[in-house]
Structure 1
């Protein structure tokens, strides 16, 4: 028996088309759903024009063989393009969709133009694929805009677009550039797990509602220059793999960069933070630029964030950004200053890591004790007849056999005495001093005494500075 009704089925297996079978279809499809190259295009256009004239906007699963131009059309009722396929360019510029619009799962093989289009109801593009890119510049989404899971292989152009309802771009793949400069988000903007393979531009955008970029990935330029975030902003676990700029951005509420990764240059120059800031466990893989100018910008950016933390009393976070600020300054300093800053860094982490001074001091004391032990010192004895003075000199190069024979309690005792006198030399508290024998020990005493005074004073200054700041 010949099939008289179109055999097209939706994604869930439901037969949804009541059109008659086109006689040229080998698969039993109507003229709208048949994807063959032999499709009668004139018949397709005539029947499509009749549907539009009677305001029947059910185009679910339709296969459009040529360019389609709906420019300036007003769709007064609900429109359904779910699972439709546009084989060539599509133009919906200056259209008005008065009610709900459904482009879920639609495939655009060429450029899809929605320039200056008005979406009064909810607009659903979830799972849609734009092989030639999508142009929504200047459009207005009065209801929600749902692009979750969509894929843009060409550029995604949303510059100057207005989102009055929620903007949902979760899990969207932007394989081309993503351009949201000057866009306005009046409600929640969700870009969680979105992937930006090329440049992502949000310059001058306004986020009046929550802005969520949780687990998003920016592979190249991420530009949020002069953007305004009026509500809670979430960049938790975001990966900024290219250069990133928040120059003159305004964060008026809490901002969370927890566990974010900044792999290249990042700019917070003249950024304003009005609420709480969280950079806990964030990673800045580059603290210096490619040249002096880039390093200077990094230095100013880190200083700006540091000052914002200081204003909020978060001294630990401020210290972290002060360290990065000094790293950027060191990278652009002249050679001599760079050497001194390198020493300052390793001694105490630019004043932010005083525990390094303690470790360096312990290392100096231990090393000096070994020098005393193996190069000869006279250790004063106690009050007679308790103990007489003794000469300690374990020369491992000359008297190796004697050294191995004396390993044991005596060696340990002599080392402890040398360690004690090394501490007394490092910390000038007074008391009987050992008598160095030979120039190496005498030089060690002089150097250790100087380093001891220097490191003790440095430790006091660094610790006092941190305590006063807190």
Structure 2
């Protein structure tokens, strides 16, 4: 009797699904909902689902689809007449065909944690009134979240998107967590609004990302890996918020596109990898908290040798650094702006542009000179060398020292005159004492560079500074021309020094 009772118990338990306790389906050890796709047909599943849903509606239960294996295409509105989900549990569910939740409303929490979507997952126009949990979900087909609204927290942590992902015109009213998510193809967030924090820390964008969205909260893009680009084209970041972009773990060449992005009054924290470049073309950068050290050697246009465009980018950065009072960084940006202008006028740059011109011309260097590019380039080069475009007082000092030494050597060759000594018939006579002096050592010093250099250096210095004590004088002819030229250059260099020193120490 005991043996029979055990057998009956064993037989009874074997007819129930070990997951949910429902009767097993045909020869499967699981119920029709948890049986594998090969053990049931689409028609059988949909029939059972309709009965199950009718039961839920009659008893007022929550929708519990945990671990269900859906075969065929499922349209929850048309096939199952579900428009509103009070509370939906799709945890670890598998959708073998398309899953269509278009226009659905989830009044309470929606749990898709660990769910697998083998084909297209359509959440277009859906509204999540409670938390939406897609943690660890896998989208093997396209994921469509067009114009979807997430009113509470949205969790896509560790989610895997194997195909193109579309979050076009979504609204995230609270935090949006995409931490450690993987996007194997393009991820589209164009025109989406993040009202809370957008957290993409540790995310992987293997196919690039379009993030031309509105960020009303902080945003963290500490990216683990990127394919080729992340585009924030036309994005808007609310004032006072923080944007973090970190690509130090990314080893390949990557472009961060900020073209036409509004970054006004935003705290921009950039930690860029060696091969990461940034495009600030036409971006609104004003009172944006950013440092030179974060962007130096990362400007896209400079690396691509598009110097005219790079000049405009550095102009934006210069004005921004001025607006936040970072004058050292402003000086750097101004110098880079002038460098880009000089490079754009150089012959190699002109020659490169000349190659793209369909009209073939002979002697391009002559055209370069004729069109005025050489003049602009040489003036810019001298400005940089002599006083660093007004940013480098030490350049003025070094140039002044060079001028004094060059003229000192010149005076050593041609000699100097002593106004107290006159020459009469080849004899040098001191005017005050009437004594005869050594013509070579005390009178007209000629052709003795080593002996003359100390006096020549002294004379060159007082001539450069326009002091002119009168104890030495230039010889007639070339000596006077050199002395006048040095005095003129000295006046200019002292004026430049005052200008650059005041500019560097007095702020902007």
Q: Would you say same fold, with TM above 0.5?
A: yes
State the TM-score, normalizing by the size of structure 2.
0.68
2: CA distance, partners of 1:22 / 1:415: 110
In structure 1, the residue matched to 2:92 is 83
Please point out which of 254, 258, 279 is paired with 1:245.
258
1:379–1:312 Cα change, 3 Å:
same
1:191–1:291 Cα change, 3 Å:
closer
In structure 2, the residue matched to 1:138 is 147
State the TM-score, normalizing by the size of structure 1.
0.73
Deviation at 1:121, TM superposition (A): 0.5
1:85–1:447 Cα change, 3 Å:
farther
1:109–1:415 Cα change, 3 Å:
farther
In structure 2, the residue matched to 1:70 is 76
RMSD: 4.5
In structure 1, the residue matched to 2:214 is 206
Q: How does 1:86-235 map to 2 (within 5 A)?
A: 86-203=95-212, 205-215=213-223, 219-235=228-244
1:48–1:176 Cα change, 3 Å:
same
In structure 2, the residue matched to 1:408 is none
Gap regions ≥5 residues in structure 1: 8-15, 395-412
Deviation at 1:141, TM superposition (A): 0.5
Comparing both structures, which one devotes a greater share of its residues to helix? 2
Gap regions ≥5 residues in structure 2: 1-9, 57-61, 346-372, 418-436
1:300–1:43 Cα change, 3 Å:
same
2: CA distance, partners of 1:347 / 1:80: 73
Which SS does the other structure have where 2:389 is aligned?
A: coil
Deviation per CA, 1:257-295, whole angstroms, max 9, x where unpaired? 3444651533243x153x551234212433646999x65
Which SS does the other structure have where 1:198 is aligned?
A: coil
2: CA distance, partners of 1:63 / 1:175: 25
Q: Bigger CA drift: 51-60 or 118-127?
A: 51-60
Tell me which structure has the larger Cα radius of gyration: 2
Which SS does the other structure have where 2:318 is aligned?
A: helix
1: CA distance, partners of 2:486 / 2:42: 94
1: CA distance, partners of 2:398 / 2:312: 31
Deviation at 1:48, TM superposition (A): 2.9
Please point out which of 5, 16, 21 is paired with 1:18.
21
Deviation per CA, 1:132-155, whole angstroms, max 9, x where unpaired? 231111111111111122222222
In structure 2, the residue matched to 1:49 is 50
Deviation at 1:192, TM superposition (A): 2.6
Q: How does 1:232-311 map to 2 (within 5 A)?
A: 232-237=241-246, 241-242=254-255, 244-247=257-260, 249-251=262-264, 253-260=265-272, 263-269=277-283, 271=284, 273=286, 277-284=289-296, 285-286=298-299, 288=301, 295-311=307-323
Which SS does the other structure have where 1:263 is aligned?
A: strand
In structure 1, the residue matched to 2:64 is 58
**How many aligned residue pairs are there?**
430
1:290–1:420 Cα change, 3 Å:
same
Judge conservation of contact 2:211–2:230 (CA < 8 Å) in 1. no
Answer yes or no: is 1:464 the counterpart of 2:502: yes
Which SS does the other structure have where 1:54 is aligned?
A: helix
